[in-house]
Amino acid sequence: MMGAGMSEKANKKVNKITARYLKKTGGLLNDGKMPFDARAAFWILEKAARSPGKRNVYFWNDDVQKLEEAIRDNREHPALTNEGYIGKQGNLKSIAFGDRGNTADHGCGWVAVFNAWRLLGRPKTPMEVAGEVSCGARGHGKRGVDPFFILKYFRAYGYDAEMTTGLDAMETAAEQSDAYILCYLYAGSDDAVGGHFIAGQWDPEKCRHSIYNGEHGGRETVAKLLEAPCIETLLNLLITIKKAAPSEQLR
In sequence order, the 6+-apart residues with CB closer than 8 A to the CB of 210 are 200, 201, 203, 219, 220, 221
pLDDT at 203: 95
Tell me the whole-structure pTM to 2 decimals: 0.89
SS3 track for the chain: CCCCCCCHHHHHHHHHHHHHHHHHHHHHHHCCCCCHHHHHHHHHHHHHCCCCCCCCCCCCCHHHHHHHHHHHCCCCCCCECCCCCECCHHHCCCCEECCCEEHHHHCHHHHHHHHHHHHCCCCCCHHHHHHHHHHHECHHHCCCECHHHHHHHHHHCCCEEEEECCHHHHHHHHHHCCEEEEEEEEECCCCCEEEEEEEEEEECCCCEEEEECCCCCCEEEECCHHHCCCCCCCEEEEEEEECCCCCCCCC
Summarised one tens digit per residue, pLDDT across range 173-228 is 999 999 999 999 888 777 778 889 999 999 999 999 999 998 778 888 999 888 88
Summarised one tens digit per residue, pLDDT across range 90-116 is 999 999 898 889 999 999 999 999 999
Task: Evaluate whether 238 touches 182 at the Cβ level (below 8 Å).
Answer: yes
Question: For residues 55 and 37, what is the distance between their CA atoms, to the nearest angstrom?
Answer: 34
Task: Evaluate whether 131 touches 55 at the Cβ level (below 8 Å).
Answer: yes
Summarised one tens digit per residue, pLDDT across range 35-76 is 888 888 888 888 888 888 766 455 678 898 999 999 999 999
Compute the half-sphere exposure of residue 127: CA atoms within 13 Å on the CB side of its CA.
Answer: 18
Considering the chain, what is the average pLDDT of its residues?
A: 87
Provide the residue ranges of all domains of the chain, joining segments of one domain with +: 8-52+154-242, 62-140
Would strands 160-164 and 193-203 be described as parallel, antiparallel, or unpaired?
Answer: unpaired
